[in-house]
Structure 1
Amino acid sequence: MRYSTYSVFAMLLISLSSALAQTIPSPKEHFGFDIGDDYHLATYTQTEAYVKKVAVASDRTKLMDIGLTEEGRHQFMLIVSSPANLKNLAHFKEISQKMARAEGLTEDQARAMATEGKAVVWIDGGLHATETVGTHQLIETIYQLTSRKDPETMRILDNTIILLTHANPDGQEIVTNWYMREPKPEKRSLDNVPRLYEKYAGHDNNRDFFIMNLKETQNIGRQLFIEWFPQIMYNHHQAGPAGSVLAGPPYRDPFNYVFDPLMVTGIDALGAAMINRMNAENKPGYTRLGGSVFSTWYNGGLRTTTHFHNMIGLLTEIIGNPTPEEVPLVPSRLIPNGNTPFPVTPQKWHFKQSIDYSVSLNYAVLDYAARYRDELLMNIYRMGKNSIDRGSKDYWGLSPKKIDAINHAFQADPKKPTSNSANAALAQYGFIPRGGGMPVKYYDTIMKAPVLRDPRGFIIPANQPDFATAVKFVNALIRTGIQIQQATADFTVAGKKYPAGSYVVKSDQAFRPHLLDMFEPQDHPNDFQYPGGPPVRPYDAAGWTLAYTMNVQFDRILDGFDGPFKKLPYGELQSPEGHVTGAAGGGYLLSAKANNSFIAVNDLLASGIDVFRLPNGVGGKSTVESGAFFVPASAKAKSLLDKSAKDLGIEVTGIAKKPTTSMAKVSPMRIALWDTYGGSMPSGWVRFLMEQYHFPMKVIYPADIDAGDLKKKFDVIIFVTRAIPPATGADNDIFRGFDREPKEESTPAEYRPWLGKITATKSIPQIKAFLEAGGSVVTIGTSTNLAYHLKLPVKNALTEMTAAGTERPLPNEKYYIPGSVLRVNLDSTQHATWGMPSLTDVYFDASPVFKIAPEAIAKGTVVPLAWFETNKPLRSGWAWGQSYLQDGIAAFMAPIGAGKFYAFGPEITFRAQAQGTFKLLFNQLYGSGKSGSQGSDIVSE
């Protein structure tokens, strides 16, 4: 009897616990306020605790820790679906994977899986932490989906698997703490956050998704491209265009030409569902198409990279702020049109309105996914299958250059039909137009030319000079779900022999759009507001081909090929195999061509081991390039180099005798890196590089420069783009774009040393004195403005004379190059360019280009390092008027007193992606001699 009573009591406890577990805590019960209440934000610590509570209380959830952030926080993904679906989650995940990869599936098999499977939908928030609607709509959506029992919610749960993912935990903590620090609510502001809300990248965390340098990006990328493959991904951002509430799909042209058309029309379908719901709920202000600047051209964003993976990537940009704001009066936005069918009128706007809009948009997407789950699954299969088919045969992709070639072939044909007798003339070519046109033979000339067809694949040889960096490129492909193969033995393709260990990337795979985008040049159209008018600015970059900017050597294979290749498991990262070879009685040589050699050298220097550079290389049978590193033989050096070769994948060559050529002893320099209050993204990326490559450095601010005595503290100062203001004009002392700095009295004391700007009156004289005393200054991008402050004999190469006889910058109608990849010539014998090839691809973003007086070059007053030798340097992207670049100087060095000034116009460290030009910075970060100076401490041994 006693046992029976205990059992009944236990059962009652279980039932009570179960009932309590299904009581989902409301946000107000946890946070103390409703999501969307004015003047209130939640920290990530509070949010994480809330999500854990919900995960315990709800049988509709499974909480996943997808990895650590750059600051060590746990990044969550909450999976929400019906209890029945969650019990069978692995099966539905497998269906999603197989449908996305489309490997070995017949149409009938795919259709059966589509019928059985569930639509997988990704919804994120918080990527850009000052865009606080994103994080808070995520919290409210979690609550709604786990607590509501209405028919729509239950249908969504039954038919979809929802991946609710926080995109930037660190940022939410930083921004919320900044906003909530003010005790009086009405005084709270999101303005002037002191530092980047992602440790290194800040806002650029949404430009990292094809290379995946950052931990948060890697965590998200694994879920998107290796684990789950959602058919729909929804990326929340803000703010919407002035006079509207939000910008959403569909987006303006151009879209990228590698996309499958089903992806583009899939965006249209989801966009229709979203705007229809807004209109049905009487929520005005949704704009689309030409109503906003957002397009689908660029790869690299969280939303846009999914487009290249056959996923329907959605972006909304909505207004909203915990501090109430105004919808401004923009009269042109008040006229209903196809862009904005339901305009919003000027009014006061509260945070809760944006949360409500966002939840409705989420439900619109989820309702569509629930209703069309089988179609979504079937279409991602079809897109993948289309890609496999296109990569398996001769295929010609369309692009503006090919269309231009068709037009040119027609215009150049002396027998082309004339407008006066068009029909008669066209008849002889077998083509009778209706309303115009040209004979199809001109199409066939271009679109069936064997050399112009798309490649069947790419081979990355294992015997290239910087194979470790090539492997980093391969790992970027692997992280984005690309199938990689590796040769298990030597092989030959198209008459060329390749060594074992080479990587092979075939284009007959589902994510062919992304694969091509990483190897092939982007061909952005000439996009102008009207003929002869100003260009339409791309939303981000116009060209970015990663294999080019990383200087990866590869061969583009046009015909089908095979060999002793093994397929690598999806998601399995590669480690290059380095070696220490040769008798090392005299010491060791490290190539200056390999980026990872600089890590090894910095580790050697930190351990007190001598390192030398060989300015003239070493001749003989095994030629060693100028700038190679030499390490004298010792047991300690051998131990460290054995480890470096293994860990870094570098080739270390042991030599029997010390080189007899001249050598310069390498010494570490005291490196300073400029930054500013609020954080500079280019500076953050360089800080990331310095840590990755083991360069000790100190971040400094304008006040540190203005304090003087710089040479006593530092040997080299790095100024990234937008640090140095223009030398002329009204903005001499305040660099336009960075003049919204907080007042000192309103800034917390701990951040006041970060305040200030580089000025012509205070800062430039101190920088000049630093140079004259023997310091080195490296400038990148617009910070090459320093050359004009120093009155060097250089001029802007991109100017023209007006009718009035005055000089002005070339107008955009004549010259316009947004972010693109260009090719420059280099003098690789110079110290500054050691290890670089004589032809190099650089990332160029409206970058400075110079003219140098011939007499200055003759006297050595200015030494050119890189220049544009041709009138067509474009490699990838968009370069209108590129002929103006010919003979322009892209980079130079100038001695100033006892120091050296370096000017690099291209973005040589761009977003930590331009790995092919990192050495242009790294070479300047070593001194010669014990003092760390840039002197000529040359010794012969």
Structure 2
Amino acid sequence: MYNHHQTGPAGAVLFAPPFRDPFNYNFDPLVVLGVDTVGSAIHTRLAAEGKPGAVMRTGAPYSTWFNGGIRTTSYFHNQIGILTETIGNPTPVEIPFVLDMQLPRADVPNPIQPRTFYFREAVEYSVTNNYAILDIASKRHEDFLYNMYKMAKNAIDKGNRDNWTIHPTRIAAAREAIEAAQAGASRGGENIGPRGGRGGPSTGSGQAGGGGRGGAPIAVYNNVLHDPKMRDPRGFILPSDQPDFLTATKFMNILMKAGVVVHRATAPFTVAGKPYPAGSYVVKAAQPFRAHVMDMFEPQDHPDDIPYPGGAPRPPYDVTGYNLAYSMGVKYDRILDGFDGPFEKISDLVTPAAGKVAQAPSGGGYLLSHEVNDSFVAVNRLLKANEEVYWIKSPFSASGKQYGAGTMFIPAKASTLAVVQKAAADKGLSFDAVASKPAGDSMKLKAVRIGLWDQYGGSMPSGWTRWVFEQYEFPFEVVFPQTLDAGNLNAKYDVLVFVDGAIPERDPSTGSGQVAGGGGGGFGGQPAADSIPSEFRGWLGRVTVAKTVPELKKFVENGGTVLTIGSSTSLGQHLGLPIRDALVETVNGASRPLPREKYYVPGSILEARVDNTHPLAYGMPPHAMVFYDESPAFRLQPDAAMKGVKPIAWYETPTPLRSGWAWGQQYLDQAVSIVEAPVGKGHVVLFGNEVLWRAQPHGTFKLLFNAIYYGGASSPAGSRTTDQP
């Protein structure tokens, strides 16, 4: 597939493959070689037609690591994906003089002189690219088709035998073993076996010990690089008795939409000594799109892309850690040996079977798990229908079954059963019944009016948040800066949600209001009001420290809840909360952000410790995978606890990385990711990490969902405590 895109690198006309390293370790080498072949055909035809200015590899940041773009996901499906980035505009543009783009080299073979470049030329370059691809495809169509077959066969073969995917952590472990062997040899002994991994600089080349032609001890290759314990799984099993099997089902549907074969157990079975219930999902590695299977289940291990010792990390094109099995929070087992069982292939997307609804006696009610994301669909429907919903604060048992903190209780009225039964039928939710409300403290939820920030021209994080709200049936309306600045917000909203990029650290025009916390703002220009239709002029404007923040402060002090994500957590410092930036250093007595040479964590999955006894984290496991993308992280000031400011999630170790790349991750040790703070009569929640990033991390959705209802929840009459934990 071919994706025409814009714009090209400065000093050039366009980028075309080959791409720069790293490429993903999961897909077949025929993929990257095929991409290079087609990309070279593009460059060759451009040069032959006298069209200079095409660059490749290090001429631009594009790589083949990430699985998620329309051209990159093709790599994991045995296809060639081509991307070109071309300059051009309906109005002429200037090609600037960039000195590094003037010296011919492998990645810039045909430089272009600085000049005016016209839109017609951009079209002509694109047409040449099309003809180059069509030409090589017509001449070598049998090769391309055969290679697709060969890649599919290779994938099936790998899934049917022991296989090792070599990635940077394995190389680091092998290098450590080689250095240990060299040290042992100098002492008259040798000790080669599985060792650690990445984490420190190497003192040796890893090339000694192989005789006159160089090389390392072959035992390292056999025992470390191919350690039997580190071989690839033959498949994955997702037990049907996991807490949120409905989200696991969504994961399976995502895989099947991408062409992955999924099986389901028709009866209980045992694999590797572990029993599994009927209905469990099975995904075997021996299938044509094995690369996609591995990329969705196994963690990404991005290399340390440092151009020279002591240099700053080179940013990736997109994120570096994204495997859905982690970010969606599903439970699964990696099976290292071949296995089989009473499995049937699922032929179509799975619609969950209707859940069970137990009969609630008069005066009793229903219990609903807080661990299931789709439970919030039921909550939203129940509140819309004026039914009552409570969160039971403490764990309890009923009818021999254990229920966790935050379990939802719905009193049974004459009108309740119809709402509950429809949720069970539509979403597969199951409702237990009890004769009376469980003992202990509880929180009564109320319907809330949600305002979701957006801006003229749109915000991608806000758009994804809107989509998530729609899927889980949260009632909301989009709110723009002019409405926020007008004040009287408590009359319109109970909860305001600000995604990454909404609230600035400072106002660009004055430089005032500088705060800590990191993150990016992304404040671009906007059109003049008279240049757009009148119905959209009310969308113009930006959130400002000078004008908007005081209105938000009034809103919270009067009982509202403000939820902030990513860079918008700067609101915490604007409001004077007792927090500080965790990602700073002191130089000559002054505090400054950690330089990239010391700390850089692009989009990756980290592990956080979660206080799931707090209502904001009801239904969460004690340790959760969270998505982190150069996100803020905090330290609480000594007086934070006295002021009621609480950490909800934090990074418990100096090595929280689980998938992706985290240079200098030790700086996150004990840093707080999520903070809850009372302000006046209301609440502010700071989500440093991206809890809804591109609507993918289902495992952290409920953190935001809980926060939406938490601020307005109250303890009913007779409860022993207030609505706070």
Matched, 1:656 2:439: no
Distance 1:927 1:336, change over 3 A: closer
- The residue type paired with residue 846 of structure 1 is E
Shift of 1:547: 0.7
- Paired with 1:528 and 1:414, the residues of 2 have a C-alpha distance of 26
Q: Hey, what does 1:477 align to over in structure 2?
A: 255
SS in 2 for 1:312: coil
C-alpha contact (below 8 Å) 1:817/1:845 kept by paired residues: yes
- Paired with 1:736 and 1:818, the residues of 2 have a C-alpha distance of 16
Q: Hey, what does 1:720 align to over in structure 2?
A: 499
C-alpha contact (below 8 Å) 1:682/1:910 kept by paired residues: yes
Q: Hey, what does 1:835 align to over in structure 2?
A: 619
- Paired with 1:511 and 1:253, the residues of 2 have a C-alpha distance of 22
SS in 1 for 2:131: helix
Q: Identify the match of residue 14 of structure 2 among 246, 270, 280.
A: 246
- Paired with 1:783 and 1:347, the residues of 2 have a C-alpha distance of 41
Shift of 1:656: 3.4
SS in 2 for 1:302: coil
CA RMSD of aligned residues (A): 2.2
- The residue type paired with residue 673 of structure 1 is L
Q: Hey, what does 2:293 align to over in structure 1?
A: 515
1:210-225 matches, within 5 Å, as none
- Paired with 2:187 and 2:181, the residues of 1 have a C-alpha distance of 14
C-alpha contact (below 8 Å) 1:669/1:927 kept by paired residues: no
Q: Hey, what does 1:889 align to over in structure 2?
A: 672
- Paired with 2:379 and 2:209, the residues of 1 have a C-alpha distance of 69
Q: Hey, what does 2:318 align to over in structure 1?
A: 540
Shift of 1:635: 4.2
Q: Identify the match of residue 592 of structure 1 among 360, 370, 380.
A: 370
C-alpha contact (below 8 Å) 1:614/1:626 kept by paired residues: yes
CA deviation map 1:808-854 (0-9, x unaligned)? 11111111100000000011011111111110000000111111124
- Paired with 2:127 and 2:166, the residues of 1 have a C-alpha distance of 39
1:194-593 matches, within 5 Å, as 233-413=1-181, 415-417=183-185, 431-434=210-213, 436-569=214-347, 572-585=348-361, 586-593=364-371
1:176-195 matches, within 5 Å, as none
Matched, 1:732 2:537: no
Shift of 1:880: 0.9
- Paired with 2:647 and 2:97, the residues of 1 have a C-alpha distance of 52
- Paired with 2:585 and 2:507, the residues of 1 have a C-alpha distance of 18
C-alpha contact (below 8 Å) 1:870/1:887 kept by paired residues: yes
Shift of 1:884: 1.1
Shift of 1:412: 3.0
Distance 1:430 1:748, change over 3 A: closer
SS in 1 for 2:116: strand
- Paired with 2:126 and 2:498, the residues of 1 have a C-alpha distance of 40
- The residue type paired with residue 512 of structure 2 is N
- Paired with 2:89 and 2:397, the residues of 1 have a C-alpha distance of 65
- The residue type paired with residue 651 of structure 1 is S
Q: Hey, what does 1:634 align to over in structure 2?
A: 413
- Paired with 1:419 and 1:662, the residues of 2 have a C-alpha distance of 67
- The residue type paired with residue 615 of structure 2 is H
Shift of 1:578: 3.8
Shift of 1:619: 3.0
Shift of 1:665: 2.0
Shift of 1:261: 0.7
- The residue type paired with residue 534 of structure 2 is A
- Paired with 1:419 and 1:498, the residues of 2 have a C-alpha distance of 51
Matched, 1:906 2:689: yes
Distance 1:632 1:560, change over 3 A: same
Q: Hey, what does 2:459 align to over in structure 1?
A: 680
Shift of 1:420: 14
- Higher Rg of the two aligned structures: 1
Q: Hey, what does 1:623 align to over in structure 2?
A: 402
Matched, 1:786 2:571: yes
Distance 1:934 1:666, change over 3 A: closer
C-alpha contact (below 8 Å) 1:776/1:901 kept by paired residues: yes
> TM-score, with normalisation over the residues of structure 1?
0.72
SS in 2 for 1:800: strand
- Paired with 1:372 and 1:721, the residues of 2 have a C-alpha distance of 47
C-alpha contact (below 8 Å) 2:442/2:715 kept by paired residues: no
C-alpha contact (below 8 Å) 1:410/1:416 kept by paired residues: no
Q: Which runs of 5+ in 2 are unaligned?
A: 191-204, 515-519, 721-725
Shift of 1:367: 1.4
C-alpha contact (below 8 Å) 1:842/1:917 kept by paired residues: yes
- Paired with 1:600 and 1:315, the residues of 2 have a C-alpha distance of 43
Q: Which runs of 5+ in 1 are unaligned?
A: 1-232
CA deviation map 1:86-118 (0-9, x unaligned)? xxxxxxxxxxxxxxxxxxxxxxxxxxxxxxxxx
Matched, 1:874 2:690: no
Bigger CA drift: 581-590 or 859-868? 581-590
SS in 2 for 1:288: strand
SS in 2 for 1:608: coil
Q: Hey, what does 2:517 align to over in structure 1?
A: none
Q: Hey, what does 1:116 align to over in structure 2?
A: none
Shift of 1:910: 0.5
Q: Hey, what does 1:825 align to over in structure 2?
A: 609
SS in 2 for 1:329: coil
Shift of 1:727: 5.0
- The residue type paired with residue 529 of structure 2 is E
Distance 1:451 1:938, change over 3 A: farther
- Paired with 1:603 and 1:250, the residues of 2 have a C-alpha distance of 52
- Paired with 2:141 and 2:406, the residues of 1 have a C-alpha distance of 59
For these two proteins, the number of residue pairs brought into alignment is 695
Shift of 1:559: 0.8
C-alpha contact (below 8 Å) 1:775/1:934 kept by paired residues: no
Q: Hey, what does 2:698 align to over in structure 1?
A: 915
SS in 1 for 2:68: coil
Distance 1:827 1:602, change over 3 A: same
C-alpha contact (below 8 Å) 1:298/1:541 kept by paired residues: yes
- Paired with 1:601 and 1:934, the residues of 2 have a C-alpha distance of 13
C-alpha contact (below 8 Å) 1:456/1:508 kept by paired residues: yes
- The residue type paired with residue 711 of structure 1 is N
- Paired with 1:421 and 1:897, the residues of 2 have a C-alpha distance of 69
- Paired with 1:861 and 1:298, the residues of 2 have a C-alpha distance of 41
C-alpha contact (below 8 Å) 2:357/2:420 kept by paired residues: no
Distance 1:551 1:695, change over 3 A: same
Q: Hey, what does 1:602 align to over in structure 2?
A: 380
- Paired with 2:717 and 2:130, the residues of 1 have a C-alpha distance of 66
- Paired with 1:260 and 1:573, the residues of 2 have a C-alpha distance of 27
Shift of 1:371: 1.1
Q: Hey, what does 2:488 align to over in structure 1?
A: 709
- Paired with 1:421 and 1:287, the residues of 2 have a C-alpha distance of 51
C-alpha contact (below 8 Å) 2:647/2:675 kept by paired residues: yes
SS in 2 for 1:268: helix
Q: Hey, what does 1:746 align to over in structure 2?
A: 531
Shift of 1:660: 3.0
SS in 1 for 2:88: coil
Shift of 1:438: 2.1
